Amino acid sequence: MSTVHEDTSLEFIASNLDILATILPERLLKPQVGIVCGSGLSTLAASFRERIEVPYSSLKGFGISTVHGHKSALAFGLVGPGDGVPVVAMLGRFHAYEGHSLSTVVYPVRVMARLGVKDIIITNAAGSLDPALPVGTIVSIRDHLALPNLTGFNPLLGPAKPQYPRFLPLSTAYSHSLRRTVFLAAHELGLPSSTLGEGTYAWVSGPTYESPAEGRFLRAAGASVVGMSTVPEVLAAKEEGIEVCVLSLVTNFVVVPDGYRSVREEVEAELAGRPLPPVPQVEVSHEEVLAIGKEKGEVMRSLVEKMIELLGKSG
């Protein structure tokens, strides 16, 4: 488990505001939009104006992100024309599989809430379970399937707190209004319609990628993409009253063969002098995930920036 100080009281979380007030100019101190950068996607914050990076180590209660492709810092800045919209981005997130508690995983979202963030755009790299969502597609998430939540692993477990609802409804967790903004932004940018899809995100704990049977199971259960993050952040943001948008970048196909070829038949055919064609042995890797993030990071960045611009206009 994480060794960070596990005080999640509002006072402790809010003490970060005093630290930030000594680092940031007034106009950056009240971000309207929060961004969570997925694996290989920290370039989403690359063109913030007046950008200031604040390492997690200089704040209170933050963990350290240990995954390649995640930086341990917040980036503050402005996005869009004119005065710009003040924003804050997590350049790296925490995953439960790193050994972080779920409180640590969602902690930065709670800090964003104290800073006044109204809308959050949570991004991730994910494996596709749907042939209609090929590698490189950005998927606007409309729902989730969280097996860990269904089996007792939920960041909102614990004593009731008066400021939060005890039983949080999730039917509207993925803001309809922000999902519209995603497609309006893509239209304004003239992105081909194949760039953007819609789907359901399955959260698994990782760190193993899915076995073929698990992939088939998730697909049959209605998931479009799968990843090892995001849902805890969505739950905390929803609990904090923040509007949530999730964008998944498809970095790979989950290996989901329709069936298994009998190895007995394979060996018997070979012995009979009629060898069958070899079965391709495909494996996903984090390097592949990061490479697609690098390749498609610019499209994702332009989409996120255009969304923020539109949100700035609508107040």
Ligand X SMILES: O=P(O)(O)O[C@H]1O[C@H](CO)[C@@H](O)[C@H]1O
On whether the CB atoms of residues 250 and 134 are closer than 8 A, the answer is yes
**Bridge partners, residue 126, by sequence:** 250
Query: For the chain, how long is the longest CA-to-CA vector?
Result: 79
Point out which span in 63-71, 121-129, 173-181, 187-195 binds ligand HPA (CB under 6 A): 121-129
- Indicate the residue among 53 and 143 with the shorter CB distance to ligand HPA: 143
Q: Is 125 a catalytic residue?
A: yes
292 sits near ligand HPA (criterion: CB under 6 A)? no
- Indicate the residue among 79 and 289 with the shorter CB distance to ligand X: 289
Question: What is the C-alpha separation between 185 and 192, in angstroms, rounded?
Answer: 12
Q: Is 39 a catalytic residue?
A: yes
Query: By CB neighbour count within 10 A (0-12 exposed, 13-18 middle, 19+ buried), where does 227 fall?
Result: buried
170 sits near ligand HPA (criterion: CB under 6 A)? no
Could you tell me which of 293, 308, 307 has the C-alpha nearest to residue 138?
293
Phi and psi at residue 74, to the nearest 5°: -95, 145
Residue 247: CA count within 13 A, CB half-sphere: 35
Q: Is 252 annotated as a binding residue?
A: yes
Point out which span in 78-86, 122-130, 168-176, 305-313 binds ligand HPA (CB under 6 A): 122-130
Which residues between 27 and 46 bind ligand X (CB under 6 A)?
38-39
286 sits near ligand X (criterion: CB under 6 A)? yes
Contact set with ligand HPA (CB under 6 A): 125-127, 209-210, 226-228, 251-252, 254, 284, 289
Which residues define the annotated binding site for a purine D-ribonucleoside?
210, 252
Footprint on this chain of ligand X (rule: CB under 6 A):
38-39, 67, 93, 95, 124-125, 206, 227-230, 286, 289
